[in-house]
């Protein structure tokens, strides 16, 4: 936003411990706390004077205000202060500096005094630690819901502080509340801040004395919601009794929102009780729960998905009822990545090669990369492209040596899968390919094979035991493959610990082949796919998420597509998918799976990976790995064939870079500004411009 000269504020929590640090011990993930503040943080400005009170618990009572109006008061609450820390975010080549405002929890003096006055000094100090837990640690898993009370409290904590901050700034301008939606747009990043909808209602009704209808009109015209996943296990719901205990006033407001909303649905679809039950904000299955996605949709003027496929599936499947009611509210805004970090900064070699050919404008106008396309036909440019890639691979080779002790060959193909470890992302399919390739090498069936280094990196959520088992399996396979003299340089498998943005900046520029192999219909967009292609990797992938749009931009001939489409995957499941069939019919697949089940990669504990085998067979293979295996292997053979022609490979790689212009986050942000927020850039001269002019 800053680079586009759009005024904006980012709000969040100033966690004392960020996402855990991943260490690998005996092939297994071990989590360590990320103490990122241990040496202080020079980029932030503490704002001890910027404090807002956030309240929890208590009960509601009715009161009459001096004008005789009945209103609700929220009393007997536990209170915590939110203190602001500001981090300036300067744009690239503009004078705009936006603000990232993160809230840190502080105990109120009030609260500790209560115990102190009772003579209980230690209790008073305990209460302080209790309050400050709110900004202690980031929950590491958004892919499955863990309905923890502290998580709900964290969400409300930062949302309430942010809304109070926004309202205070709005009120300083002394404009009527009716103008609030013209002055403020709030984008809900997933449902995690969706409690903001009833919180704004509460502030408008109970604190500022508005009536329901104008308050609801303001709220609906202020919020928009970005959905990030279709997987039902990731959609947030909170038990009603938890809500009642933590946020009793908000529960009342949600009930009222729901009541009025369901009235509207009933008018549109009389007698359709099943529809009412599906659309209700209160779910009745398995105990009454608040469905945060339904709340977010009902309280927003726009809802967007993050790739065309994802937005289509959203409209046709999970939110079909809401789409039928209000089709104009649903839009698509395909994700993008910043070219400043992911090319200009992370890959200085390629960046200067590009600038040398087409000038520097691509850095803030990535569409300009199309001017690079003619270079793909020039042998001299291809050679220079390959030189840069080789230097980046040498740099990564040193990092791999340092972090894992494994020596890799920089002339082998670097085949990279870097992303969170999750069954739907199918790291296991990658492993099945590695095991098959290993078996072919041992059996001397090398026809057309090129040397490969398969690189995997990613964290597993600490409570997702199966994802952690996948990490162990990767290490088990690596141990066998990397130490087998029969394999030599033909195949290496390395797992780089602690995947994060800093490591990504080293890995991505060194990649030849980018693995984007999720089950079609499961990856909302992906952004790793964009970073890798922008750095001249060829993609092997399914027709999932943004891969589909990437193929359109870079051309069919420059991407390796395999496997079922989202529609075929759905049909496959609907027609009673049986993974045993693939197991029986495909000897290589059977061999790989039997080795995993039989302990070939866990000689010290032969049954360790038995559950991997079971998951992919008896348990039904929910992400259809076996169904896509043959197609994936055939596609990998095509990859080898192209890699044996470096000139042709380089040509495709350069065309990938040239085609990635639309996947700039600048384009994405601009679409949010135009389609959802209705804001335009505020011209600000770049720093030093005024001084230069005076001279």
Ligand X SMILES: *Cc1c(COP(=O)(O)O)cnc(C)c1O
Enzyme catalytic residues: 228, 419-420, 425, 527, 531
Closest distance to ligand X from the beta carbon of 427 (Å): 11
Specify the residue, 322 or 632, whose C-beta has the smaller distance to ligand X: 632
CB 540 within 8 A of CB 517: yes
Residue 172 CB neighbours (<10 A): 8
Reading the block at residue 310, the tokens are: 């994802």
Nearest CB to ligand X, comparing residues 493 and 504 = 504
- The CA distances from residue 313 to 32, 222, 530, 552, 570, in Å, are 38, 25, 21, 19, 11
> What is the DSSP-derived secondary structure letter of residue 363?
G
Alpha carbon separation from 420 to 223, 467, 471, 524, 571 (Å, rounded):
29, 9, 11, 14, 27
Looking at the Cβ atoms of 504 and 673, the one nearer to ligand X is: 504
Q: Please, which of residues 295-354 interact with ligand X by CB under 6 A?
A: none
C-alpha span between 51 and 44 (Å, rounded) = 16
Minimum CB separation of residue 662 from ligand X in Å reads: 17
* Residue list 529-558, contact with ligand X (CB under 6 A): 531
The residue (of 299 and 541) whose beta carbon lies closer to ligand X is 541
Q: Which stretch binds ligand X (CB under 6 A): 116-124, 210-218, 388-396, 526-534?
A: 526-534
Q: Work out how close the CB of 374 gets to ligand X at its nearest, in angstroms, rounded to a whole number.
A: 30
Q: How far is the CB of 415 from ligand X (least distance, A)?
A: 15
Element (H, E) at 12: strand 9-13
Q: Whole-number minimum distance, CB 428 to ligand X, in Å?
A: 16
422 forms part of the interface with ligand X (CB under 6 A)? no
| 663 part of the interface to ligand X, by CB under 6 A | no
For residues 358 and 368, the answer to whether their CB atoms sit within 8 Å is yes
Smallest distance from ligand X to CB 371, Å? 26
Q: What is the DSSP letter of 673?
A: I
Which residues are CB-contacts of 453 (< 8 A; sequence separation ≥ 6)? Answer: 408, 409, 412, 413, 414, 415, 491, 492, 493, 494
Cβ-based nearer residue to ligand X, 166 or 428:
428
- Contact region with ligand X (CB under 6 A), list: 281-289, 438-446, 525-533, 602-610: 525-533
What SS3 class is residue 470? helix
- Kindly state the tokens that stand for 138: 């980031």
Residue 298 or 510: the one with the smaller Cβ distance to ligand X is: 510
Q: Which is nearer to ligand X, 390 or 395 (CB)?
A: 395
Q: How far apart are CA 18 and CA 550, in angstroms?
A: 32
By CB under 6 A, name the one of 101, 344, 419, 608 that touches ligand X.
Answer: 419
CA distance 516 to 632: 11
Q: How far is the CB of 504 from ligand X (least distance, A)?
A: 4
- DSSP H or E run through 257: helix 248-268
Count of residues interacting with ligand X (CB under 6 A)? 10
- The residue behind tokens 């009772």 is 118
Site for ligand X in 473-512 (CB under 6 A): 499-501, 504
Nearest to 241 by CA among 275, 295, 193, 290: 290
Residue 503 CB, nearest approach to ligand X (Å): 7
Spatial separation of the C-alpha atoms in residues 640 and 636, rounded to whole Å = 6
Residue among 526 and 563 whose Cβ is closer to ligand X:
526
The closest residue (CB) to ligand X is 528
Torsion angle of C-alpha atoms 388, 526, 672, 256, degrees rounded to 10: -160
Distance CA 84, CA 11 (A): 10
527 is a site residue for ligand X (CB under 6 A):
yes
With left for phi above 0 and alpha for psi between -120 and 50, is residue 303 left, alpha or beta?
beta
Q: Which of residues 378-407 bind ligand X (CB under 6 A)?
A: none
Select the residue interacting with ligand X from 27, 526, 536, 563 (CB under 6 A).
Answer: 526
The token pair that represents 370 in the structure block: 């199309």
Q: How far is the CB of 340 from ligand X (least distance, A)?
A: 14
Alpha helices by DSSP H, listed for 332-449, are 339, 348-358, 379-404, 427-442
Task: By CB under 6 A, name the one of 509, 528, 536, 661 that touches ligand X.
Answer: 528
- In the complex with ligand X, the residue whose CB is nearer, 517 or 650, is 517
- Which residues are at the interface with ligand X (CB under 6 A)? 419-420, 499-501, 504, 526-528, 531
């Amino acid at each position: 936003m800053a680079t586009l000269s759009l005024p904006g504020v980012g709000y969040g929590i100033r966690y004392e411990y960020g996402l855990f640090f991943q260490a690998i011990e005996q092939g297994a993930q071990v989590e360590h706390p990320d103490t990122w503040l241990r040496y202080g943080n020079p980029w932030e400005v503490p704002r001890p004077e910027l404090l807002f009170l956030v309240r929890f618990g208590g009960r509601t009572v009715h009161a009459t205000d001096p004008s005789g109006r009945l209103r609700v008061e929220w009393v007997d609450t536990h209170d915590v202060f939110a203190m602001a820390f500001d981090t300036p975010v300067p744009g690239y080549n503009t004078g705009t500096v936006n603000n990232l405002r993160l809230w840190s929890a502080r105990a109120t003096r009030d609260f500790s005094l209560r115990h102190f006055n009772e003579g209980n000094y230690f209790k008073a100090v305990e209460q302080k630690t209790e309050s400050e837990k709110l900004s202690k640690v980031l929950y590491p898993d958004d892919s499955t819901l863990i309905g923890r009370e502290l998580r709900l409290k964290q969400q409300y904590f930062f949302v309430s502080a942010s809304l109070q901050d926004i309202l205070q700034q709005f009120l300083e301008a002394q404009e009527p509340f009716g103008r609030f939606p013209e002055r403020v747009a709030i984008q809900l990043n997933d449902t995690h801040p969706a409690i903001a909808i009833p919180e704004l209602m509460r502030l408008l009704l109970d604190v500022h004395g508005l009536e329901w209808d104008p308050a609801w009109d303001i709220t609906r015209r202020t919020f928009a919601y970005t959905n990030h996943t279709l997987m039902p296990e990731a959609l947030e719901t909170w038990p009603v009794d938890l809500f009642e205990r933590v946020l009793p006033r908000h529960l009342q407001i949600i009930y009222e929102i729901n009541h009025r909303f369901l009235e509207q649905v009933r008018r549109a679809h009389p007698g359709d009780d099943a529809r009412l039950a599906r659309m209700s904000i209160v779910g009745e299955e398995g105990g009454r729960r608040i469905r945060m996605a339904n709340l977010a949709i009902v309280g927003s003027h726009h809802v967007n998905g993050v790739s065309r496929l994802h937005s289509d599936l959203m409209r046709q499947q999970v939110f079909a009822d809401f789409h039928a009611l209000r089709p104009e509210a649903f839009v698509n805004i395909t994700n993008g990545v910043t070219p400043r970090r992911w090319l200009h900064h992370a890959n200085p070699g390629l960046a200067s090669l590009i600038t040398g050919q087409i000038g520097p404008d691509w850095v803030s106008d990535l569409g300009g990369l199309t001017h690079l396309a003619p270079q793909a036909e020039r042998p001299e440019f291809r050679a220079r492209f390959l030189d840069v890639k080789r230097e980046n691979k040498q740099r990564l080779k040193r990092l791999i040596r340092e972090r894992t002790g494994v020596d890799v060959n920089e002339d082998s193909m670097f085949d990279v899968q870097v992303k969170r470890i999750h069954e739907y992302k199918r790291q296991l399919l990658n492993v099945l390919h590695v095991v098959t390739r290993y078996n072919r090498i041992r059996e001397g069936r090398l026809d057309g094979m090129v040397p490969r280094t398969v690189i995997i990196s990613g964290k597993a959520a600490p409570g997702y035991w199966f994802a952690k088992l996948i990490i162990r399996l990767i290490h088990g396979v690596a141990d066998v493959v990397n130490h087998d003299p029969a394999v030599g340089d033909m195949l290496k498998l390395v797992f780089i610990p602690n995947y994060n943005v800093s490591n990504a900046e080293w890995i991505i520029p060194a990649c030849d082949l980018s693995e984007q192999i999720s089950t079609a219909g499961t990856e909302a967009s992906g952004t790793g796919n964009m970073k890798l292609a922008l750095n001249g990797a060829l993609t092997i992938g399914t027709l999932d998420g943004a891969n589909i749009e990437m193929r359109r931009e870079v051309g069919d001939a420059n991407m390796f597509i395999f496997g079922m489409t989202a529609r075929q995957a759905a049909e496959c499941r609907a027609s009673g998918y049986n993974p045993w069939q693939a197991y029986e019919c495909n000897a290589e697949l059977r061999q790989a799976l039997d080795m995993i089940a039989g302990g070939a990669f866990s000689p010290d504990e032969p049954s360790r990976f038995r559950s991997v085998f079971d998951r992919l067979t008896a348990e039904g293979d929910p992400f259809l790995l076996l169904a896509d295996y043959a197609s994936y292997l055939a596609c990998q053979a095509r990859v080898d064939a192209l890699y044996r022609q470096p000139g042709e490979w380089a040509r495709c790689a350069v065309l990938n870079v040239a085609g990635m212009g639309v996947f700039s986050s600048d384009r994405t942000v601009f679409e949010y500004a135009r389609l959802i927020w209705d804001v335009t850039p505020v011209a600000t001269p770049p720093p030093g411009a005024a001084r230069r002019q005076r001279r």
